[in-house]
Amino acid sequence: MPVISLFAWMLVIAFLAFIACMFEDLESDIGSQSNPNSQVQLAPEMGYIHRYFNKAISGEGLSYGLSCTISGTIAMLILLQLGSVGPKAAVLAIPVGAAVGSLVHMVRSSTCHVGRESAHKRFEQPIYLDVFYGHLLPIATHNFMAVICITAIAYIQCNLGILSGVTGASNPFPLPLLCLIWGLTVGAIGSSTGDIHYGTERVFQDKPFGEGRRVVYHGQICRYGDCGVRTSKDVAAFCAKFGGPATGLAFGLIVLFENWRTVIGMLLGGLSIGGLANPAVAAAWGIGIGIGIAIVLVILARTLEKWTRNKYGPFVGE
């Protein structure tokens, strides 16, 4: 029974990862963080005044590292203070920590918009106050959803031994450090997977299909929406249909495969309530299954790419 509950907790972690990365991607789209930001930054310099929110805190990985680490630190301190209550203290600690983390994130993003737009003085880019105020709350709420999931994942990993009843299943890293690692990871996946969708589908529409971003088109972002002038909030509503869930799926699958291969390896290594009977066998099986999954994914990706190139190619410049 404890072994099954261990597997159940790992599925919970994968589900939380899916939610976290989906909201992370949508949050980064509200405010053009990361890669698409370079074109939003260039637009006024090329004469295209826009109403996008310029949220250049840093790359997504680092900014999520910040809010998740602060959340994890606050949660850890509350857990230490309420140590006598036991695991129930997490019900208070995780949301409060996430609230503080997303508050800090909101403050950081508020400084970004005014900072970058006032540095565009000579290009006549004004600061639109409705854009500035209107984006702060969506940023904070989406960030809260992502950070609370990441903090919960870190908490579950930290206390997996107690929660599942299997000795030695807890992660040896402390809560804030796990939050930092997970924050950097969720930001990295959200950036690498989600930005492509946001950028190509919504911001850089003025280019031939399959072509890279030519210098001629630099700064020529899509500034008008279906009706009226587009702001970053409208982009989030669009990306919530496909880009966000796709990004969440990417991260959720990574976490799922990672946990799945570890648990299968542990089962083959003789997992019981007392811990692992044979750690070396467990590690070997885990690594072997991991390599197998990677090979299958590479073959699938290559097949898909070949099919796409045959069907829609040849692309410009090929």
Partner 1 sequence: MGEEEAKQEEKEEKAKPKEEFKLSFDYFNESRLGIFALTIGVLMAIFPGLPAFIKGVGIMIVFAWGADSVRKTARYGLGTGVPSIGVLAMGFGIIGGITGIAVASLSFGTLVVGGVEIAFGVLAGVVLLALLGFVSGNLANGDKFINMKIPGLERGMMELGMAGTLAVLIETSIVAGTYDITRVLPSVIDNGVIAVIFIISAFGMLQPLNTCLGADERRGRTLLMSIEIGGIAGIILGIVTTLTLSAFEGVPLIVLGAVVWVVFYRAYMKACMEEAYAVKGTGLIKTLGG
Encode burial over 249-270: b for 16+ CB neighbours within 10 A, e otherwise. Answer: ebbbbebbbbbbbbbbbbbbbe
Measured from the CB atom, the residue of 80 and 137 that comes closer to partner 1 is: 80
Q: Which of 179, 236, 256, 289 binds partner 1 (CB under 8 A)?
A: 179
Report if residue 40 touches partner 1, rule: CB under 8 A: no
Q: Which of 32, 39, 69, 151 binds partner 1 (CB under 8 A)?
A: 69
Report if residue 170 touches partner 1, rule: CB under 8 A: no
Kindly state the DSSP code that residue 89 receives in the 8-state scheme.
G
Measured from the CB atom, the residue of 104 and 189 that comes closer to partner 1 is: 104
Taking residue 210's Cβ as centre, other Cβ atoms within 10 Å add up to 14
Q: Which of 3, 7, 11, 38 binds partner 1 (CB under 8 A)?
A: 38
Which residue in 55, 50, 62 sits closest to 36, CA to CA?
55
Q: Which of 45, 87, 214, 298 binds partner 1 (CB under 8 A)?
A: 45
Q: Which uninterrupted H or E stretch holds 272?
A: strand 271-272
Report if residue 107 touches partner 1, rule: CB under 8 A: yes
Residue 169 CB, nearest approach to partner 1 (Å): 19
Report if residue 85 touches partner 1, rule: CB under 8 A: no
Strand partners, 229: 224
Backbone angles phi, psi at 104, to 5 degrees: -60, -40
Taking the C-alpha atoms of residue 8 and residue 6, their distance in angstroms, rounded to an integer, is 5
Q: What angle do CA 204, 210, 213 make, to 5 degrees?
A: 45
Measured from the CB atom, the residue of 176 and 244 that comes closer to partner 1 is: 176
Measured from the CB atom, the residue of 85 and 296 that comes closer to partner 1 is: 85
Q: Which of 40, 106, 112, 250 binds partner 1 (CB under 8 A)?
A: 112
Backbone angles phi, psi at 273, to 5 degrees: -60, -35
Measured from the CB atom, the residue of 177 and 254 that comes closer to partner 1 is: 177
CA distances, 285 to each of 31, 58, 102 (Å): 44, 39, 40
Strand partners, 275: 272
SS3 300: helix
8 Å CB contact between 239 and 194: yes
State which of positions 212-271 bind partner 1 (CB under 8 A): 223, 229
Measured from the CB atom, the residue of 40 and 266 that comes closer to partner 1 is: 40
Which residue in 4, 315, 15, 26 sits closest to 190, CA to CA?
26
Taking the C-alpha atoms of residue 90 and residue 85, their distance in angstroms, rounded to an integer, is 10
Question: How many of the chain's residues bind partner 1 (CB under 8 A)?
Answer: 56
Report if residue 143 touches partner 1, rule: CB under 8 A: no
Measured from the CB atom, the residue of 105 and 261 that comes closer to partner 1 is: 105
Alpha carbon of residue 165 to chain centroid: 30
Find the part of the chain contacting partner 1 (CB under 8 A) among 72-80, 84-92, 190-198, 285-293: 72-80
Report if residue 311 touches partner 1, rule: CB under 8 A: no
Q: Which of 25, 27, 29, 117 binds partner 1 (CB under 8 A)?
A: 117
Residue ranges binding partner 1 (CB under 8 A): 38, 41, 45, 47-51, 56-59, 62, 65-66, 69-70, 72-74, 76-77, 80-81, 104, 107-108, 111-112, 114-130, 173-180, 223, 229
